[in-house]
Structure 1
Amino acid sequence: MSADVVIVGMGYVGLPLAQEAALQGLSVVGFDINPSVVEGLNAGHSHIDDLSDDDIQAMLSAGFRASADDSVLAEASTAIVCVPTPLARDGAPDLGAVTGAVSTIARHLRSGMLVVLESTTWPGTTEEIVRPVLEEGGMIVGTDVFLAFSPERIDPGNATYGVRNTPKVVGGVTPACTERATAFYQRFIDTVVPAKGSREAETAKLLENTYRHINIALVNEMARFCHELGIDLWNVIDLAATKPFGFQAFYPGPGVGGHCIPIDPNYLSYTVRTRLGYPFRFVELAQEVNSSMPAYVARRAQDILNEDAKALRGSHILLLGVTYKRNIADQRESPAVPLAEYLREWGAEVSYHDPNVPTWNLPDGPLERVANLDHAVKSADLVILVQNHDAYDVEALAGRAQSFFDTRGVTTSSGVNRL
């Protein structure tokens, strides 16, 4: 049995990509080394926010299948790598999953095959790390096989932009590789944008998220001094956003989360430091500001309790929303985790509620969601809105709380503390 594409890694990137390709008529196999993921998918069960069980059933009806057997790669005319690239301790991207996936593909490489890396990484990875592995068997990239990088642009929870209508950047190691990869993605994606090369495509993804990282850090730092100066930053941003050109609104918060914003800019910083010998100062300063926000929120919580003649130690603090983004269950790099750790370290009793997270896994063990939200809000010494899920009637919750701290700027009551 042949396949148009085998997608390696059935997570937040690979599975939506597989869905779109399958629904557009391509024969798709999802390869994953986790047997439980494979079994779940083949049984019609989704394990990510953006796809429901019905979505998986529709994929299966369109011919999709999942496998933990790497021999399926021998069937594919195209293989796409969508595996995690977390940060290692030295700040470099951990390419263990990428090199493992590429080595697996190389064992099944055949003439004419297209290999695409979608996992975010530092500029040069596709050409310097992936290409040599593929060429070990004697085939030449650009002649015998084709290799490209295409940055994933998955935005979990975004109901407007998905895989098909988000423009797809594609950069090949050679012009022939770019042409081949572009033709492949054009089969199921509306707009494909060829890059000059794989390094440009790799760097484009890092620029996108570095831009956001730095601008979020800007408003996070402004939130601190605007609070001290008695200025409503949320109103300031609304006012600035009335300008129809030259301004894009970014908003402060308790920190940044997800795989992209807190991690991707560090790949670029790492590349500059290791290859050029000097720092990427904007990124490093932005990282310092954004990573300090959970501690800042914890200190503000302490100040709010002091104003109520209460000590942080021994106070009951309820956190509302512990995911990194609203209306999803994804907790990767959520700032709620370090916030909870600071509060507990300083003596507070911390509980939480999140409609999407029945059990919250903290570093020192799991925490069960409060059973009765209304009772928990009324009984807590301080309620902190960490993530503004649509399921929350924030104004009503703030009205019932003894004290309420809004880190998302969504409340309008003058009696509420806002970041």
Structure 2
Amino acid sequence: METFLQYGKTSLSVTVPDSSVVIEPRFLAGLSDEKAAVQQALLSPIGLPPLKDLVKSTDKVAIVISDITRPTPNDKLVPWLLEELAHVPDEQFVVINGTGTHRDQTREEFVQMLGEKVVSRVRVVNHHCHNKDELVHLGRSSFGCDVYLNKEYVEADFRIVTGFIEPHFFAGFSGGPKGIMPGIAGIETILTFHNARMIGDPLATWGNMENNPLQRMAREVNGMCKPDFMLNVTLNKDKAITQVFAGELFEAHEKGCAFAKEHAMVPVSERFDVVITSNSGYPLDQNLYQAVKGMSAAHKIVKQGGTIICAAECSDGIPNHGNYTEILQMRATPKDILEMIGDPSFQKFDQWQVQKQAVVQVWADVYVYSSLPDEDVKQAMLKPTHDIAATLEQLKARYGENMSVAVLPLGPLTIPYVSGT
């Protein structure tokens, strides 16, 4: 049968055995009037008075957004926030791009993310986690590091964080506190948040918020300089807004996570020989680093010794910034990579993504269908494929004619799990 994977800005047609199980989240239609829904959420937020009543005309307002690797519809949310806060002069706003350890965005990319009107009206800046002049020290975390956050955010009179909520491969769910930690944290704080012990904790996984060490640290750091208001949304496969969660950070985020879990997490009765996944298309499949999320989603339901085939366009390469490629080349096998990263003396940003990838590779083989040169895929210890149907045919020699196949067309927007685990 023919199925379609989200791939880049379009979709990829794949022929799979008729017996394949296609696993998708329960589809929710987009809201009929997204703007009205957001405006209503700002008027009647969870746990807070209306947003407009909270912000004085003299306040300096910081709005934190997620960077270009996330599909948060900030081209809608930020203009609607500015409209709601029309009593505040434009020059008193700053929009902070929560890059974490990712690269800066260009003005052209900011226009793509926010619209020309916003970029021309208010100041938009990139967060720089390595630049201490742009950070403020807030104290010591119980997790063993100093806490640094973006200076402009800390010094603002009123702080707003935006985001979108979906299952996350080690934080449980995205959105909420993650917009601040790691979005606008300093590198020392980010490295602790993503260290091998935190990432390797069995509770640091898809859809789990209970005693998840990353959520515990995110909450602690946010508590040191808490956003005064959160505006998060959930999205469907068409990137349309399905629900709005606005108000007090922790209460509103908790409600959003419960909503996302209800339709995004799908039980299956047993593991599969082969799992084909996407990385949910653009913008999440811009590079191989991000594609680890699709691999990790497939890992939840593939048999040990099975095979994952991940389709991610990788229009932005591996990428050529950060330490992801360098760390992958520091050892010869995924097992050796895990041993290296597990050494407490090893500390290099981006190690968390390599750690998650290596965990998957120790469990199963991973093929990648992408626009990358084969050599780049092989250097990442992955196997390139240019024809998924042909690769499936070859895998029958290993798993037999009756090999079981699952397909995750939306990649990490769907989190399958084996019932009872």
Larger Rg: 1
Query: Normalised by the shorter chain, which TM-score bucket?
Result: 0.3 to 0.5
Q: Counting strand residues as a fraction of each chain, which structure ranks higher?
A: 2
TM-score normalized with structure 1 length:
0.37
- The structure whose RCO (Cα within 8 Å, separation 6+) is larger is 2
TM-score normalized with structure 2 length:
0.37
